[in-house]
Amino acid sequence: MADNPAEPSKSALKKAEKQAKQAAEKAAKAAKQAALPLVGGKKADDIIGMTVSKADNFSAWYQEVVLKAEMVEYYNEISGFFILRPASMFVWNTIRKWFQEQIETLDVEEASFPSLLSSKSLEKEKEHVEGFAPELAWVTKAGDKDLENPVALRPTSEAIMYPYYSKWIRSHRDLPLRLNQWNSVVRWESKQTTPFLRAREFLWQEGHTAHLTEELAGEEVLQILEFYAGVYEQLLAVPVVRGRKTEKEKFAGGYYTTTVEGYIPSNGRGVQGGTSHCLGQNFSKMYDVKVEDPTPKEGEKAGHIHVWQNSWGLSTRVIGVMVMIHGDDKGLVLPPRVSKLQVIMVPVGINKSTSKEDKEKHYDEMQTFKNTLKKVGVRADYDTRDGYTPAWKFNDWELKGVPLRLEYGPKDAAKSVVSFARRDTGEKGTIEIASLTTEIPALLEKIQSDMYNKAEASFRSHRINITNWDEVVPALDARNVVLIPHCLAEKCEDKIKDLTTGNQEEAAGPADAKAPSMGMKSLCIPFEQPEGIEKGTTKCLNPECGALAEKWCMFGRSY
C-alpha cells in the first residue's frame, strides 16, 4: 500500500503553495461576500470564477479549483486534513461502485477490521513497519486515563489483519482468502499536504488476499492492476502506464509491486496511480499463515506451505489526478461518467418583460426535458435561480465542471431545439428536442472519450525514449517523463536522482517555475517495453553506472 514519498518540497515551493492557498481562500471569501447582496433580492453580475491561471501557477490554480468547485474544504482545526464535499464523494462513490463490482467477479469479500493497532502487533514485521513508524498517530489516553498500552491509528492494515489470516486459514480449502475493506487511514505526513494528492487522512480501499501458489497470487495482482487502470481510463478519462516498480520503489516488505502511473501535463510530473502488490511469503512467514501441502510428493509426509499474499490499494488521490489533468482556467472539468450532474440546463431570454405564465410554461418544459433525460439515465437539472444572469450561471456551472450545458429560451422553443455548449472544448451547437434522448447520451459519451483521447495524446507525446544521457534533463525541463535503458539497481537510481537534481533555489517566481530543479526517480518498468535493448550489450544510461541495462525504465519528476 505504498504511497511512495515524492520529493521533499523545497522551502520556496512551500511558501508559494501557502500563498496560493491564501489567495484561493481570499478569493472564495470574496465570492461569498459578493453573493450576499443576493439575499436581499438584488441582482449581482459579479463573475465569481477562478483568479489564477493553470499555466501561470499550477499549484495555486489547483488549490483554487478544488476549493471553488466545492470539491474540498480545508479542515482548519488540524492541519493536513481535508473535508471531502459531495462533489468529490460522488466521484469516489462512482469509483467504489464500479471497482466493487469488478472485485466481486473475483469473489473478493468485504470485511471491516478495527482502525487501531497495538504496539505489540507492530513488532512482528520490522521492515514494513519501519516505513510507517514516523507517520503513526498514537492514542495514549482514553477519557482522562492513560492507556496501559498505547495504540496507533492504522496507516495500512497488514499488521491488523494478518494475525487473523493465520487463525482463519487452516487448510488449503480456506484458500484463496480474499478480503477487501473501504476505510480511511491516517499517516501523519511531515511533508507539505495537498488536497487529494497528499493528506494526513484519506479514503481508500485495501484488499488483502492469500493464495496457495505464487502463480495464483501473481494472476490476481495483474487482474487488480487492470481494474485500477479501468478506474482511470474508463471512469476518469485519465491514461495510465502499467508497469512494475523497481526494487527501490516497491512496497516495503513486499515481493514485487505493480503500478499504474499517470502524468500531469502542466508540470510534466509523473504520479503514482494505484498499486497492486505481491507480498510473496514474507508476511505469511512473519504471521505464520500456512497450510498443509495438498499435493505432497509421493511417499512423503505432507509439509507446510506458507501462503502467497497480495495487497492492493486505491485512494482518493485518483480524484486529484483527474482534477489536475482535465481542469482549465474556468475551473473544474468533470468526465461525464463521474459527474453528479451531467447536464445543466439554463433558461435564457427570460427577463422582466416575460409574463409569469410564459415563465412557468418555459420552466415546465425544462422539467419535462429533465424527466425525459432521467429516463435514459442522464443526470440533468435546470437552474431557476432568480436574480442571476445566464452569463453568471454559465460561469458558475463551468467552475463546477458540469460536462454539458443546455441553453433554452423562447427562440430555441420556436425552433424546437436546445442549444448546447460542451465544457471540455467549448464547442456549441443545437439539438432537436425530439432527439434529446439519443443525442444527449451520445454527446456525453463523446465528451468522455474525447477527454480521454486528449489526455492520452498528451501523455504519449511526453513519454520519450532516450538513449543519450545529455538529453535527459532537457527532456524533463520540457515537461516529459523519459524511458531509459536501466540496470534496475537501487544505487544507480539514487545516483540518477542526484545527477538530475538542479540548483535553481535562488530563482524567483511562482511554485511551478521551480519544479524543474527536482531530480527524477523511477516511476515504473513498463510492461510494454520498447525495442532496442540488447541483452549483454546495451548499457545502463546513467553515465556513472557502467552496468548492463536490464529494461527500459520510466523515470520522471513526480508527486
| Residue of the chain from 93, 213, 368, 438 that contacts its own copies (CB under 8 A) | 93
| Residue of the chain from 11, 42, 78, 352 that contacts its own copies (CB under 8 A) | 78
Pairwise CA distance, residues 201 & 196, whole Å: 10
- Among the residue ranges 147-155, 249-257, 322-330, 439-447, the one whose residues contact its own copies (CB under 8 A): 147-155
Q: Of all helices (H) and strands (E), which one includes residue 544?
A: none
| Residue of the chain from 49, 131, 150, 390 that contacts its own copies (CB under 8 A) | 150
- Using rule CB under 8 A, residue 398 touches its own copies: no
- Using rule CB under 8 A, residue 457 touches its own copies: no
| Nearest distance in Å: CB 117, its own copies | 7
| Nearest distance in Å: CB 77, its own copies | 4
Binding to its own copies (CB under 8 A) within 487-546 occurs at none
Pairwise CA distance, residues 315 & 556, whole Å: 22
The number of C-alpha atoms within 13 Å of 456 and in the hemisphere containing its C-beta is 13
Whether a cis peptide bond, with omega within 30° of 0, leads into 176 is yes
- Using rule CB under 8 A, residue 77 touches its own copies: yes
Q: How many CB atoms lie within 10 A of CB 223?
A: 15
Binding to its own copies (CB under 8 A) within 273-292 occurs at 291-292
| Residue of the chain from 45, 56, 110, 127 that contacts its own copies (CB under 8 A) | 110
- Among the residue ranges 145-153, 440-448, 449-457, 492-500, the one whose residues contact its own copies (CB under 8 A): 145-153
Nearer to its own copies, 185 or 541 (CB): 185
Q: Pairing mode, if any, of strands 380-382 and 343-347?
A: parallel
What mask of x and - would describe binding to its own copies in positions 3 to 42, judged by CB under 8 A? -----------------------------x--xx-xxx--
What mask of x and - would describe binding to its own copies in positions 235 to 264, judged by CB under 8 A? ------------------------------
Measured in residues, the chain has a length of 559
Pairwise CA distance, residues 229 & 234, whole Å: 8
The number of C-alpha atoms within 13 Å of 104 and in the hemisphere containing its C-beta is 7
| Nearest distance in Å: CB 26, its own copies | 14
Binding to its own copies (CB under 8 A) within 158-187 occurs at 160, 163-164, 167-168, 170-173, 179, 183-184, 186
Binding to its own copies (CB under 8 A) within 122-141 occurs at 133-141
- Using rule CB under 8 A, residue 415 touches its own copies: no
Pairwise CA distance, residues 559 & 540, whole Å: 25
The amino acid at residue 451 is M
Distances (CA, A) of 217 to 10, 176, 211, 276, 308: 40, 9, 6, 11, 6
| Residue of the chain from 109, 130, 432, 445 that contacts its own copies (CB under 8 A) | 109
- Among the residue ranges 80-88, 223-231, 250-258, 482-490, the one whose residues contact its own copies (CB under 8 A): 80-88
Radius of gyration of the chain from Cα atoms?
Answer: 26
Nearer to its own copies, 84 or 487 (CB): 84
- CB of 216 within 8 A of CB of 176? yes
SS (H, E, C) 263-324: EECCCCEEEEEEEEEEEECHHHHHCCCEEECCCCCCCCCCCEEECEEEEEEEECHHHHHHHH
Nearer to its own copies, 143 or 536 (CB): 143
| Nearest distance in Å: CB 324, its own copies | 20
- Using rule CB under 8 A, residue 113 touches its own copies: yes
- CB of 343 within 8 A of CB of 440? yes
